[in-house]
Amino acid sequence: MYDRLAARVTTSLEHIQLPSAEQIWRLLDVMDVGLLVTDPMRRIIYVNATFTRESGYTLDEVQGHTCAVLQGPATDPTDIEVMRRALDRGEGFSRVVLNYRKDGRPIHYRVRVQPLYEGTILRYFVGVQEDYSETYAALERLGRWAHVDSLTGLGNRRAFDRALDQALAGTTAVQLVLLDLNDFKQVNDERGHQAGDQLLVEIAQALTGVLDGGGSAYRLGGDEFAALLPSGAAPVEERLREALAALEPEAVRAAVGVARAPDEARTAPALFRLADSRMYRQKVGTRG
């Protein structure tokens, strides 16, 4: 039985007409992903029509060049090094890379490259590149939203922690300002949460206005805010209180605590504790 089945399969295969080399190239040209083929020295020997449409480069313009012709000033050197090492080893890779079109416009590609061997001899590298720009932009937006307070538009606690760590890792002195509202719960209870949310938005705008581009503002959560600005910047406490006093309801007041690095503290936890303790003492004193 198996012999008869094998004979039928063999007979069927004999009637299959394999495409010629010219037909194969024509098939590759109509694929909706960019294709390129290089020799073992990474010199381009073929690109398909989709590659030309997306990049602007024809085969005549890139033939004999390496893929470095597609890179530009903002291409990540780490990406270049990772790809180079894989190719040096005769291995494939998959990576999202920033390249440039012929007209100079940047484009993010998801690049997949595989080596093609004949026996043990490396003959070609075959690359597939897909336009990843829209997906990359969407991921960038998600990344930004993950660091933004949705109500006020200020940076959130995650953004604040990262910014504070980066500031303390540098050599520039920094000033941390913490702000906490007094009796904010009373606003929510008496006027409703919508009024409370509106007040938080107005406080965020007041804080940003006081900084006037000289620092960065954050909402840490609830009615707690923070700002980071150069240590030599003019004191903001009095200006901040004046800005808050102009808001409705006028009874809303805030406690403010300030600490400076590296003069008063050198680590993020120590700096935050110092500013927080000063803010708390002021809050208790105000209530008293």
Q: Which residues are catalytic?
A: 223
Q: Which of 266, 240, 262, 265 is nearest to 178 (CA)?
A: 240
CB half-sphere exposure, 276, CA atoms < 13 A: 8
- Largest Cα–Cα separation, the chain: 100
CA–CA gap between residue 204 and residue 206 (Å, rounded):
5
Q: What angle do CA 178, 267, 161 make, to 5 degrees?
A: 55
Judged by DSSP in three states, 220 sits in strand
CA distance 69 to 72: 8
Q: Please work out, in degrees rounded to the nearest 5, the angle formed at the alpha carbon of residue 276 by the alpha carbons of 271 and 280.
A: 155
Cis before 19? omega within 30: no
